[in-house]
Amino acid sequence: MPLFFYTIAIFSAYLLGSIATSVWIGRFFYGIDIRDYGSGNAGATNVFRVLGKKAGIPTMIIDMAKGWAAVKLALFFSESLIIGSNGYINLQLALGAGAVLGHLFPIFAQFRGGKGVATLFGIGLAIHPLATLLAFSVFVVVLITTRFVSLGSMLAGVTFPVLIIYVFKESAPSLIIFSFFVAAGLIYTHRKNIIRLLKKEESKANIFGKRRKHLE
């Protein structure tokens, strides 16, 4: 496939990732910029924390869906590639990277986005669903036992390459590199949370609670 078409594909994935779900839901339904409240992050976790589950659930689903859809663009831009081949996986990963970049730096929201956890989850589901679901189970267990979303996200991220390499024994170099990127990326984007965890200042999740009273 010519470089031009690769460029169009990745830019399309970036635009999908740039869908500013949390910002738009906060602005159109609650009259606020979610980035001015809570952790200041434009992600599903902060929406749950500030606006509650009625806004948090659709935000999380849409953020996952845009990562999944970005990877699936490979079906339309891979006419010369065999599905499952290294070249096809490389294209999927490039599209996923474009979506994450869009989520982190959304063109539709002043380039101030979220941490990409839900979007990465959607990407993982599209590329390697079994490893992703197992890593997600780690997130759920940690969240239930500690109520720290950040800790659950990081431990799930670290689990992902372990599953890819040692459990599923994947050999595609790009997939292995991607798994390490997921782990490193989640740790990097949660570096402030790590400091708060060490200081015992990290907020615990209120996933099923109501939105903050000062917004009602």
Every domain of the chain and the residues it spans: 3-215
Nearest 5 degrees, angle CA 98-CA 158-CA 63? 40
Residue 142, pLDDT score = 95
For residues 190-197, give the mean pLDDT.
93
- For residue range 60-84, list pLDDT tens digits in order: 999 999 999 999 999 887 777 777 7
Residue 164, pLDDT score = 96
- Residue 178 Cα distances to 96, 152, 168, angstroms: 10, 19, 15
Query: CA-CA distance, 181 to 94, in Å (whole number)?
Result: 12
C-alpha 48, offset from chain centre: 15
| Best CA proximity match to 59, nearest among 26, 28, 37, 30 | 26
Residue 155, pLDDT score = 97
Query: CA-CA distance, 92 to 122, in Å (whole number)?
Result: 12
Amino acid making up residue 100: V
CB atoms within 10 A of CB 34: 28
pTM of the model: 0.87
Q: pLDDT grade, residue 153 (50/70/90)?
A: very high
